[in-house]
Amino acid sequence: MSRMKASANRQVKILQEVFMIDQTELINQIREEAIVFDEISTAPLSDFLNRVGDARVVLLGEATHGTSEFYQMRAQLTQALIAQRGFNIVAIEADWPDAALVNRYVGHVSGGVPEHKAFNRFPQWMWRNQEFHDFVEWLRKYNSNIPSKSNYVGLYGLDLYSLYQSIDNVIRYLDLNHPHLAELARQSYNCLMVWQGSPSDYGLAVLQGENKDCREEALSVLRKLLEVQVAKGLFSEDEEVLDAIQNALLVVNAEKYYRIMWGSSTSSWNLRDGHMFETLNLLLSVKGEGAKAIVWEHNSHVGNAKATEMQARGEINVGQLCKEHYGDAAYLVGFGTHEGTVAAAASWGGPMKIKKVLNSHKESYERLFHETGVGKFFLPLLSPYQKKVRQGLMMPMLERAIGVIYRPDTERFSHYFHAILPEQFDEYIWFDQTRAITPLSLTAPQGMPDTYPFGL
């Protein structure tokens, strides 16, 4: 071995020893400063509400799309924010049309259905599970005590994956309320409807110059719908109007999604998160000046993208956009786990399975928190909370993200990314051991989603 290589190895060993000393001290600091709780039902919610303060938007993440504890804790926090702080919007990472049916159900409006009948496409278990069902029933009961039904707490879908379902809903609304526009909308949407059997081929045909795009046709329906509603002054007063406008807007954005999906994944990711942020802003605007929203999405959407390797790829997300738009009025909460089980599929469109979650990577934040030996805790990351802990966590580390697909065999490559946790989240909630959600009445999926999504 050359002298130079031997010297380099000694330097690496010294750095590793120094890091281990620093890490040991950090683990002790986390152990001392973490806000520990034994059960979700007895977690210190009052302290959490105080830390949220005057935030108008609270984003609650999850490290997987199939962990029971994440759903239960989000429900517990959401109930407190609604009952004690007046939050009146719950916005979830789900298709708008499906969530609209559940929104009608929790608001005691005719035509509504519970969640286990509303979400029919892959991944059904994400919202058709016992944990979410319990929250939906709580929200329905809570709304039954609100005197004015127009002021009920609503539940809405932020996502982009319902192109043709949204087209159907726009046409149905126009047939009932503006028949003279319905036929015009059918003619405009026919440009997209001819691709219903293979919608991804639409974008490829446009890219190759074999077909003209349908951008103007989709926009024309949205413009006409907005013109009618503005003229009648109904835009902010009627949930059916909001539903129609949002579906028309979704068609516009989904059409664009198809045109760019054959290009970079960054562009399609940014379009999706931009659409979700745009939808959130629309809800806050429609609900009025005092409106406040709780968002349920994956950590990858909730945590500020600027604090992760997403930034190097040019990717944005909902958390970043909320921080840029709302500043301190946006409060971002991440979740994590070391081991357990999770509900996920092995491939897109595949059956849900209960999978074992591997122990967290030795170079990850999750392993660091596991080493504390504390099973459950809140970790506030904003100044003036835990300044020493915040400083210690500023070193970039790996962070795990499991979506609807989990591939343990390639976990390091498939499910880890680098992040700076205190810049990514305002608070972090830790569960050392977790279990999979309990799925409800899963049925055969009704075809692939209209826009082939990311797994997160």
What's the CATH code of the domain at 356? 3.40.1660.10
Q: How far is residue 406's CA from residue 415's CA, in Å, rounded to a whole number?
A: 8
- 369 with 383, same domain: the answer is yes
- 148 with 201, same domain: the answer is no
- Let me know if residue 17 belongs to a domain: no
- Let me know if residue 274 belongs to a domain: no
- Let me know if residue 10 belongs to a domain: no
Q: How many domains does the chain have?
A: 2
- Let me know if residue 415 belongs to a domain: yes
- Let me know if residue 139 belongs to a domain: yes
Q: How far is residue 346's CA from residue 352's CA, in Å, rounded to a whole number?
A: 8
- 341 with 442, same domain: the answer is yes
> Would you call 167 helix, strand, or coil by DSSP?
helix
Q: How far is residue 101's CA from residue 81's CA, in Å, rounded to a whole number?
A: 23
Above 50 in pLDDT, residue 207? yes
The helices-and-strands tally (H runs, E runs) of the chain is 18, 11
Residue 18 has what pLDDT?
A: 45
- 186 with 220, same domain: the answer is yes
Q: How far is residue 404's CA from residue 257's CA, in Å, rounded to a whole number?
A: 21
- 302 with 190, same domain: the answer is no
Above 60 in pLDDT, residue 372? yes
Residue 448 confidence class, pLDDT cut points 50, 70, 90: very low
- Let me know if residue 3 belongs to a domain: no
Each residue's pLDDT tens digit, 166-204: 999 999 999 999 999 999 999 999 999 988 877 788 888
Residue 7 confidence class, pLDDT cut points 50, 70, 90: low
Give a three-class secondary structure readout of 20-32: HHHHHHHHHHHHH
Each residue's pLDDT tens digit, 412-425: 999 999 999 999 99
H or E element at residue 366: helix 365-370
- 44 with 133, same domain: the answer is yes
- 309 with 382, same domain: the answer is yes
> Would you call 303 helix, strand, or coil by DSSP?
coil
- Count other Cβ atoms within 10 Å, centred on residue 379: 25
Q: Are 91 and 295 in contact (CB under 8 A)?
A: yes
- 199 with 345, same domain: the answer is no
Q: Take residue 149 and report the two structure tokens written for it.
A: 């039904």
Each residue's pLDDT tens digit, 259-301: 888 877 889 999 999 999 999 999 999 998 899 999 999 999 9
Each residue's pLDDT tens digit, 74-126: 999 999 999 999 999 999 999 999 999 999 999 999 889 989 899 988 999 99
Global confidence as pTM = 0.92
Burial class (CB in 10 A: 0-12, 13-18, 19+), 382: middle
Q: Report the percent of the chain where pLDDT is more than 70.
A: 91
Low-confidence winner among 53-62, 262-271, 438-447 (lowest mean pLDDT): 438-447
Q: Which amino acid is at 47?
A: D
Residue numbers of the domain that contains 315: 22-111+119-159+292-455
- Let me know if residue 269 belongs to a domain: no
- 300 with 422, same domain: the answer is yes
Residue 16 has what pLDDT?
A: 43
Above 70 in pLDDT, residue 13? no
- Last-in-domain residue among 264, 280, 301: 264
- 240 with 326, same domain: the answer is no
Q: How far is residue 314's CA from residue 177's CA, in Å, rounded to a whole number?
A: 43
Rounded to 10 deg, the angle between the 68-85 and 45-52 helix axes is 70
Q: How far is residue 119's CA from residue 439's CA, in Å, rounded to a whole number?
A: 12
- Let me know if residue 13 belongs to a domain: no
- 188 with 94, same domain: the answer is no
Each residue's pLDDT tens digit, 115-154: 989 998 899 999 999 999 999 999 999 999 998 777 899 9
Question: What is the mean pLDDT of the segment spanning 238-248?
Answer: 92
Supply the mean pLDDT for the chain. 91
Q: Give 21 or 277, the one with higher predicted confidence.
A: 277
Residue 455 has what pLDDT?
A: 67
- Last-in-domain residue among 264, 279, 307: 264
Residue 12 has what pLDDT?
A: 42
Residue 239 confidence class, pLDDT cut points 50, 70, 90: confident
- 168 with 153, same domain: the answer is no
Q: How far is residue 40's CA from residue 373's CA, in Å, rounded to a whole number?
A: 18
Q: Take residue 75 and report the two structure tokens written for it.
A: 């429900």
Residue 14 has what pLDDT?
A: 46
Q: How far is residue 138's CA from residue 116's CA, in Å, rounded to a whole number?
A: 15
> Would you call 263 helix, strand, or coil by DSSP?
coil
Listed residue (356, 322, 339) closest to 425, CA to CA: 322
